[in-house]
Amino acid sequence: MSHGAGAADLHHEERPELQHHFETPEQQFESGKFGMWVFLATEILLFGGLFCAYAVYRALHPEVFVYASLFLDRVLGGINTLVLICSSFTMAWGVRAAQLGQRRLLIVLLGLTILGGLGFMGIKYVEYEHKWKAGLLWGTHYRSQADGHALHHGDAGTEGHGVAPDGHAEPDGHASEPGAAAEQAAPDPRAGLPPAAAAALPPTVPVPEGRTFGDGENASLIPPAAVGPVGVRPPEPAEDDDDLARRLRNEPRNVHLFFGIYFTMTGLHALHVIVGMILIGYVMARAIRGDFGPRYFTPVDIVGLYWHLVDLIWIFLFPLLYLIE
């Protein structure tokens, strides 16, 4: 600890913010900052565990990450990065304003920082809502994206009615045999689909009216899967088929795990953004009351450190989640 000799002659009476268990304001400031850095270290370890899960899963299943990256908008993510960087800048400037006793400027800058946090959360909400509607979710909530519905805005609500295979529409045992599969061609799954989604589907052979699939209580008029039974490659794409539709159809297994990681990491980060905004609001209220000046600005500094850490973590989350391939 670098204790200056100059501050030792200050008495507690002159410094109302100096707690009785500290000798000098400087000691108090240093202790507060040191405590904050230790806390930030634990935050880094907390996120480190999630980054570890990410690293292991990406190393073992790069194909899942490449596929899932089709559904992340890097422009929106980039804008969010810029928003957070700008709010980090206003926060750093705010600390400077507090140090220089510029009370009005400090209040304005803290307000701008909160606005930045709100803007970040707003964009995050747009992204989350799209993923929620398109079924780009964790675990069993994930919906197959092979028909490309997530990339066609406005289609999101109409999916899932016999087109996207969900839990119960899984093909039964004999349908996965190639021979049986050839006979079990589905009725035209394009019926009622928007042209863009229909174009993403492979060609199919019509089946007789009243044909059922599966047996026993699982029997259904709905064909087992849009792209053919499990284990059978989809037919060769038509000539006008585009690269994106082909990539969408070649859906790897367990894409839902990417979205589990995505929502855990961005969700925990978003929680930190919300906590940060509340803390900045508290500091702002104290700044309005006139608590801070060149001699005492520790809360501004420490909340600033927290806000910068939130920014720092996003700086790493962004390329890892949005800039795959």
Binding site for another protein (CB under 8 A): 1-2, 4, 6-7, 25-26, 29-30, 33-34, 37-38, 40-42, 44-45, 48-49, 51-52, 55-56, 59-63, 74-75, 78, 81-82, 85-86, 88-89, 91-93, 95-96, 99-100, 294-295, 301, 304-305, 308-309, 311-312, 315-316, 318-320, 322-323, 325
What distance in Å separates the CA atoms of residue 216 and residue 235, rounded to the nearest whole number?
29
What does the block give as tokens for 255? 């894409």
Measured from the CB of residue 7, what is the shortest distance to another protein in angstroms?
A: 6
How do the residues of the chain divide into helix, strand and coil, expressed in percent and rounded to 5? 65, 0, 35
What does the block give as tokens for 83? 């928003």
What distance in Å separates the CA atoms of residue 84 and residue 73, rounded to the nearest whole number?
17
Measured from the CB atom, the residue of 6 and 157 that comes closer to another protein is: 6
Measured from the CB atom, the residue of 100 and 126 that comes closer to another protein is: 100
Tell me the DSSP string of 208-270.
-TT--BS-GGG-BSS-S-TT-STTSPPPPPPTT--HHHHHHHSPPTTTHHHHHHHHHHHHHHH
Measured from the CB atom, the residue of 74 and 211 that comes closer to another protein is: 74
What does the block give as tokens for 140? 């069993």
Measured from the CB of residue 207, what is the shortest distance to another protein in angstroms?
A: 32
Measured from the CB of residue 50, what is the shortest distance to another protein in angstroms?
A: 10
Measured from the CB atom, the residue of 72 and 169 that comes closer to another protein is: 72
Measured from the CB of residue 140, what is the shortest distance to another protein in angstroms?
A: 19
Question: Count of alpha carbons within 13 Å of 2, Cβ hemisphere only?
Answer: 1
Measured from the CB atom, the residue of 60 and 191 that comes closer to another protein is: 60
